[in-house]
Amino acid sequence: MIKKGLFGVACVAMTVICLSGCGLKDKETSMTGSLTESGDLSETKEITITSETEELNTDKASGPYTFEERLEKDGKIRSYLTGEMVSVTIGNRRPIAVMMSNDKAALPQYGINRAGVVYEAPVEGGMNRFMAIIENYDDLKRIGSVRSCRTYYTYFAREFDAIYAHYGQSTFAKPYLSNVDHINGLEAIGSVAYFRTKDRKSPHNAYTSAARLNQSIEKLGFTKSYDTKYRGHYQFARSNQKVTLKNASDGKDAYKVDPGYVLNKPWFEYHEEDGLYYRYQYGKPHMGEEGQIKVKNIILQYCPMAHYATTEYLNLNVQDDSYGTYVTEGRAIPVKWSKDGEFGPTHYYDMENKEIILNQGKTWVCVISAQDSPNVKLYGKQ
């Protein structure tokens, strides 16, 4: 159920911030064949059906996958992170949510290319850190560099029923670590879970690995399987569907996405040939150990922000309803978000209060101070 309190104000803010002030190029787009949930043609439905569509004349077939349909087939099951079919061993195992540095001295990040979902959020000093949520990590011998926890990341990790890996925490975050199963480099398990390399200077040289993570999970007694009450986080399009946002009345072109972060100055560029957004920062391609980072979906989540007392530490409000932007396939729409209780997943809704459907693939979530949302820029095709 969507909470209503903030959404009236948020809708007005989104119209001004996301549509009028983002540098978007208005372009005419021809209507393609798209279906409503009842199977009728519509000019505003966001799902554009591909050519492989023989059985899409029922409500069930044209909607997103449901939890009840998450069944094993030929040794595979649908991933909670990407919506894609993965091995049962990977898909039924809780993922690891690893805190990663984004300082220049720490680059490249190891293991980040494997993340099904990445959260990017500001910390003190204008720097951003990542939380890379990884389910396919068994062959990774180096993951990180691993950095310390901030309060709001504990909630993000909990939303995916993930095991949270971090090296220390801020004073303000320490009480919140009880929110989530975690592997802390400053606790006794740290010598098992993490190692330091000689090719980086401290604090950018702390790493973990699949073997160390699995050993730590065993020692700490964490459950490896998802909680039986967990029902996933996102809604994903079916394998014969593609979310295009082409016919959304409030949609705009988004071939380049600039989240407005001031220090690393990242942006994403849409490539039509593969339908992915390629990430850049510090003036050049953002490379992980396994190549340039590419994602299918981008969510810009705007959150009210303040500071703890007189410190530089940030307190991002990730609990109360607010607004944002959903980007995929070269298009963007304004959204509003609402969290399912204190520890449940965050749901994102379009302006008709329908929960958005993501394309199958990787998702990057940019958490942005609501005060800084006017700095977000979306650009049309050049």
The one-letter code for the residue type at 134 is: I
Instruction: Spell out the domain ranges in the chain.
Output: 7-63+234-296+324-379, 76-220
Q: Which of 89-98, 203-212, 290-299, 300-309 has the lowest mean pLDDT?
A: 300-309
**How many Å apart are CA 128 and CA 65, to the nearest integer?**
33
Q: Give the pLDDT confidence of 13-35 residue by residue, as tens digits.
A: 443 333 333 333 333 332 222 22
At residue 47 the predicted structure's pLDDT band, cuts being 50, 70 and 90, is low
User: Tokens at residue 238, please?
Assistant: 């079916």
Q: Which residue has the higher pLDDT, 282 or 48?
A: 282
SS3 at position 152: helix
As beta bridge partners, residue 99 has 131
Mean pLDDT of the chain: 85
Residue 214's contacts (CB-CB under 8 Å, 6 or more residues apart) are: none
Instruction: Give residue 382's pLDDT band: very low, low, confident or very high (50, 70, 90).
Output: confident
More confident residue, 353 or 11: 353
Mean pLDDT of 90-119: 97
Task: Return d(Cα 342, Cα 322) in angstroms, integer.
Answer: 15
| Residue-wise pLDDT tens digits, 333-345 | 999 999 998 899 9
pLDDT digits (tens, 9 = 90+) for 254-283: 999 999 999 999 999 999 999 999 999 999
% of the chain beyond a pLDDT of 90: 74
Contacts with 49 (C-beta within 8 Å, 6 or more apart), sequence order: 33, 34, 35, 56, 62, 240, 241, 242
If one looks up domain 76-220 in CATH, what number appears? Answer: 3.50.90.10
The one-letter amino acid at 110? Y
**Is the pLDDT at 43 greater than 60, yes or no?**
no
User: What per-residue confidence (pLDDT) applies to 49?
Assistant: 37
At residue 158, the pLDDT reads: 96
Please, which pLDDT band fits residue 9 given cuts at 50, 70 and 90? very low
Task: State yes or no: pLDDT of 356 exceeds 80.
Answer: yes
Distance in angstroms (rounded) separating the CA atoms of residues 18 and 14: 5
pLDDT band for position 247 (50/70/90)?
confident
How far is the C-alpha of 272 from the C-alpha of 283, rounded, in Å?
22
Query: What is the distance between the terminal CA atoms of the chain, rounded to a whole angstrom?
Result: 40
Q: Is the pLDDT confidence value at 56 over 90?
A: no
Q: Bigger pLDDT: 46 or 110? A: 110
Nearest one of 143, 134, 164 to 152, comparing CA atoms: 164
**Mean pLDDT on 36-49:** 36
pTM for this predicted structure? 0.85
pLDDT tens, residue by residue, 296-334: 999 999 998 888 888 888 888 888 999 999 999 999 999
pLDDT tens, position by position, 143-202: 999 999 999 999 999 999 999 999 999 988 899 999 999 999 999 999 999 999 999 999
Residue 175, amino acid: P
